[in-house]
Amino acid sequence: MCAKKVTQKPEDVPTTGHIWDGIEELDNPMPRWWVWVFYATIVWGIGYSIAYPAWPMITKATPGLLGASTRADVVAEIKRFDDANATIKQALVDADLTTVSANPDLMSFAQNAGAAVFRTNCTTCHGSGANGIEGKGYPSLLDDDWLWGGDVENIYATIAHGIRNTTHPDARWSQMPAFGADEILERPQVAEVVEYVLQMSGQDHDATLAAAGEAVYLDNCAACHMEDGSGDVTQGAPNLADAIWLYGGSRDAVTYSVVNARFGVMPGWNDKLPEDEIRAVALYVHSRGGGQ
Amino acid sequence: MSSPDATEPPSLYAAREPIFPRRVYGRFRSLKWWLMGLMLGIYYITPWIRWDRGPNMPDQAVLLDLAHRRFFFFMIEIWPHEFYFVAGLLVMAGLGLFLFTSAAGRVWCGYACPQTVWTDLFILVERWVEGDRNARIRLHRQKWNGEKVRKRAVKWTSWFLIAMATGGAWVFYFTDAPTLLGNLLTGQAGAVAYLTILILTATTFAFGGFAREQICIYACPWPRIQAAMMDEDTLTIAYRDWRGEPRGSLHKGKIPEGQGDCIDCMACVNVCPMGIDIRDGQQLACITCGLCIDACNDTMDKIGRPRDLIGYMALTDETAERGGDAPISVWKHVFRPRTMLYTVLWAGIGAGLIVALFLRSPIDVNVTPVRNPTFVTLSDGTIRNAYDVRLRNKQGADAVFTISVPFDSGMRAELEGLSGLSVTVNANETLSQRVYLNAPRGSQPASEDRTQVRMWFEELGTTNRVHHDTVFNGKDE
């Protein structure tokens, strides 16, 4: 714009007296409506602090005349969702677990609810991805290897009652003898049976010791772990011939298991969670890739 | 306004000076009437245009279906994951404003801005009810009596009805218009619809009836941004002061000796909807609506002087005219590197969007590899990766999707909860499906850290086929 044509300072507008680089700060009055809006915000602010919780006191803030409370809002909101879900929760409780996957609505609800239950209660041991901790005795729930059975009803029973806990009478129960510590087997026999187990699972092993270990295995181990090492889900005896090891598959780890035995415990949940949530999380776990 | 006084501080606030724009006839006024009709027509009629999309689909030509997350524009249907079209349109709108502002100044403000169009409409109603400028000033000054009450009541009621129609038309863009109209009239429409109408009615009534030019001067950021986009070739409205000054009134019907063409008739000030005097020069409040040009030309015709004492011109025109140089063609202002660049960018993005629009497939997928954990070892040593796949069927009929990976990749696909490799996606729906890729123990993908793999998705019985490249994580031993 041509400098000559720019509007000059109107004669009757006062200045604040501030000048920077020849630019004067005018002291124009504000529009009246702006001032009204400003006063209105003050009135609104006072009214708001009376109507709603505002002023901090010693233990809590002033409650406000309208009785608004965000905590109560949350409680009401949760109740609203609970009420809205009451029908479908009851449907889940009444349903036959094996047929839920044929009902898309119910399955979708179970998946979402189960994921939430899992995140809250199960991730501490089984991990947020449900993959457990390899070699530490927290089983992965994503693979096709199940200690106590991988069909949805067995998963449900395991979650409801737990494993080897003393609080649930129906908890899964079994105990492996500590073959070394209790001196059931001699040290050389332990070494032999370890080599045999390594051979069964297709790992590097000493063939001579393994051949000697077969007899030890059949006498002491096959009752639970079966002659071919495939384990027994009715007593939680793990499969020794596959690629998955709950406590590690190395020579040292297997030796430790034979000598001292393992005793993995899982709490039962039917005294902590409602029936619909146990069913939901059972369906969720069953659909993580390993369900049978 | 108070006068500067050393002892007395200036007043804190100033009342709005009411503006009573006078009726004007001329080229720019006619153009503005046509544009106003066109734009109001587009705004009110668009939601009522029907467009057949087949069964179970909305038949509204332009529909922003927020509830179902779809945007319909005639034959085009945009899904939420294609929001980049909207982003592209916004970029184009921005560049378009750059282009128009650098070439023709504030044409948006003067002719197309809703604030200008609705204010124009409200002033028109005001003139019908209360008469032209002088009658309105008289009414404004006179005490409240029966006539004033009646005229004000009629004017405000008319404004209110227009405001309500404005707010009412807006909601029709978001749901099926005929259904919503029925629901609105019978009181069955949602609270959001009524609330939106209420808010837009209030803002239209206040902005068009009372706030008017104050929105442009105080509330709108655009006048201030535009100042940075104008240059010496930008068309603005200017007063030829070298021709008009010194101004003075007519003497016996003639311009006295030594006086310029401006006879100080105030016609340009009286018609201005912004209440400014264009003879003070280009200023923030000027929306370049051109009404002062019409008013001044009318006066020039009457006193037999050449037109365009006030006219559209660029700074370079002014310099040339003052220096007695040849006038510059308007095309030279419009076609210059800056405007060319804006045009090329604008057209480039537009062309890109059109190409993208026609390259869209009726089916679409997203593949998200599950990273927690990166892989799972199965009992036979197979390495498994999981992928969360979102399958979109953008067609009006159910579709069966078949999922596969190349045979030579060494992997096999598997679907969670399904026995085969096919899954049905309902018409116009998105389905989430977990897909597993299994690589046998000892195979290359199973033992390498990362393997690239291409997943293919085919719609059964059609040629629709899309792929997605992803990664398979092996057990790096």
Taking the Cβ of residue B323 and every Cβ of chain A, the question of whether any pair is shorter than 8 Å is answered with: no
Taking the Cβ of residue B379 and every Cβ of chain A, the question of whether any pair is shorter than 8 Å is answered with: yes
In chain A, domain spans: 25-65, 77-164+270-286, 187-260
DSSP for chain A, please give it.
--GGGSPPPPTT--EEEEEETTEEEE-PPEEHHHHHHHHHHHHHHHHHHHHSS-SB-SSSB---TT---HHHHHHHHHHHHHHHHHHHHHHHHHS-GGGGGG-HHHHHHHHHHHHHHHHHHTHHHH-TTS--BTTTTB--SSSS--SS--SHHHHHHHHHH-BS-SS-TT-B------TTTTTSS-HHHHHHHHHHHHHHTT----HHHHHHHHHHHHHHTHHHH-TTS--BTTTTBPPSSSS--SS--SHHHHHHHHHH-----B---TTTS-HHHHHHHHHHHHTTTT--
The answer to which of A111-120, B66-75, B112-121, B430-439 has the lowest mean pLDDT is: B66-75
Does residue B193 sit in the same domain as residue B244? no
SS3 state at B291: helix
Does residue B157 sit in the same domain as residue B245? no
ipTM: 0.81
Where does a domain end: B302, B328, B354? B328
pTM for the whole thing? 0.73
Closest Cα in chain B to A141:
B376
Residue B377, phi then psi, degrees to nearest 5: -90, 125
SS3 state at B331: helix
Strand partners, B472: B451
Is the pLDDT assigned to residue A78 strictly greater than 90? yes
Give yes or no on whether A77-164+270-286 and A187-260 have one common fold: yes
What does chain A come to in residues? 292
What is the rounded CA–CA span in Å between residue B158 and residue B277?
Answer: 30
Predicted confidence (pLDDT) per residue in B3-37, tens digit = 444 556 667 777 778 899 999 999 999 999 999 99
Q: Is B315 in Cβ contact with A34 (below 8 Å)?
A: no
Taking the Cβ of residue A28 and every Cβ of chain B, the question of whether any pair is shorter than 8 Å is answered with: yes
Across chain B, what does the average pLDDT equal? 90
Six token digits for residue A273: 């969670």
Is the pLDDT assigned to residue B1 strictly greater than 70? no
Taking the Cβ of residue A1 and every Cβ of chain B, the question of whether any pair is shorter than 8 Å is answered with: yes
Nearest-neighbour CA in chain B from A101: distance (Å):
8
Q: Is A101 in Cβ contact with B417 (below 8 Å)?
A: yes
Question: What's the burial of A145, exposed, middle or buried (CB within 10 Å: 0-12/13-18/19+)?
Answer: buried
Does residue B200 sit in the same domain as residue B320? no
Domain of B248 in residue numbering reads as: 231-328
Q: Taking CA B403 as the corner, what is the angle to CA B402 and CA B404, rounded to the nearest 5 degrees?
A: 125
Q: Taking CA B227 as the corner, what is the angle to CA B225 and CA B232, rounded to the nearest 5 degrees?
A: 145
Residues of A in contact with B2 (CB under 8 A): 12, 14, 29
Taking the Cβ of residue B53 and every Cβ of chain A, the question of whether any pair is shorter than 8 Å is answered with: no
Give the relative orientation of helices B133-141 and B146-171 as an angle to the nearest 10 degrees: 110
Where does a domain end: B279, B306, B328? B328
Distant-in-sequence, close-in-space partners of A82: CB < 8 Å, separation ≥ 6:
none
Closest CB to B4: pick one of A14, A140, A239.
Answer: A14
- Strand pairing category for B13-14 and A30-31: parallel
Predicted confidence (pLDDT) per residue in B362-401, tens digit = 888 999 999 989 999 999 999 999 999 999 998 888 999 9
Does residue B39 sit in the same domain as residue B182? yes
Does residue B218 sit in the same domain as residue B255? no
Does residue B169 sit in the same domain as residue B193? yes
Domain count for chain B, please give it: 3
Q: Assess if residue B436 is contained within a domain.
A: yes
Q: Assess if residue B45 is contained within a domain.
A: yes
Closest CB to B377: pick one of A5, A239, A243.
Answer: A243
pLDDT at residue number B67: 86
Superfamily classification of domain A77-164+270-286: Cytochrome c-like domain (1.10.760.10)
Six token digits for residue B77: 């249907």
Q: Assess if residue B164 is contained within a domain.
A: yes
Q: Does residue B284 or residue A268 have the better pLDDT? A: A268
Q: Is A128 in Cβ contact with B372 (below 8 Å)?
A: yes
Does residue B169 sit in the same domain as residue B35? yes
Q: Is A12 in Cβ contact with B2 (below 8 Å)?
A: yes
Taking the Cβ of residue A144 and every Cβ of chain B, the question of whether any pair is shorter than 8 Å is answered with: yes
Instruction: Please state, as a whole number, how many other Cβ atoms lie within 10 Å of the Cβ of residue B161.
Output: 13
Taking the Cβ of residue A14 and every Cβ of chain B, the question of whether any pair is shorter than 8 Å is answered with: yes
- Please report, for the domain that includes residue B399, its CATH number: 2.60.40.10
Q: How many CB contacts within 8 angstroms connect chain A with chain B?
A: 103
Is the pLDDT assigned to residue B2 strictly greater than 50? no
Predicted confidence (pLDDT) per residue in A203-258, tens digit = 999 999 999 999 999 999 999 999 999 999 999 999 999 989 999 999 999 999 99
Does residue B248 sit in the same domain as residue B394? no
Does residue B255 sit in the same domain as residue B219? no
Question: What's the burial of A76, exposed, middle or buried (CB within 10 Å: 0-12/13-18/19+)?
Answer: exposed
Does residue B282 sit in the same domain as residue B166? no
Closest CB to B1: pick one of A7, A13, A131.
Answer: A13
DSSP for A74-127, please give it.
HHHHHHHHHHHHHHHHHHHHHS-GGGGGG-HHHHHHHHHHHHHHHHHHTHHHH-
Does residue B382 sit in the same domain as residue B393? yes
pLDDT at residue number B362: 86
- Which of B79, B121, B291, B106 has its CA nearest to residue B205? B121
Residue B383, phi then psi, degrees to nearest 5: -100, 130
Does residue B141 sit in the same domain as residue B53? yes
What is the rounded CA–CA span in Å between residue A121 and residue A281?
Answer: 10
Q: Assess if residue B390 is contained within a domain.
A: yes
Q: Assess if residue B17 is contained within a domain.
A: no
pLDDT at residue number B55: 77
- Report the side by side order of strands in the sheet with B399-404: B422-425, B399-404, B450-459, B465-473
Taking the Cβ of residue B417 and every Cβ of chain A, the question of whether any pair is shorter than 8 Å is answered with: yes
Taking the Cβ of residue B358 and every Cβ of chain A, the question of whether any pair is shorter than 8 Å is answered with: no
Q: Does residue A141 or residue A34 have the better pLDDT? A: A141
Give the H/E segment covering residue B312: strand B310-313
Where does a domain end: B328, B344, B375? B328
Give CA separation, A113 vs A89, A117, A151, A277, B418, in Å. 10, 6, 19, 7, 21
Predicted confidence (pLDDT) per residue in A83-99, tens digit = 999 999 999 999 999 99
Cβ B204 vs Cβ B162: under 8 Å: yes
Predicted confidence (pLDDT) per residue in A2-15, tens digit = 333 344 456 677 78
pLDDT classification of B40: cutoffs 50, 70, 90: very high
pLDDT at residue number A3: 38
The dotted CATH code for A187-260 is 1.10.760.10
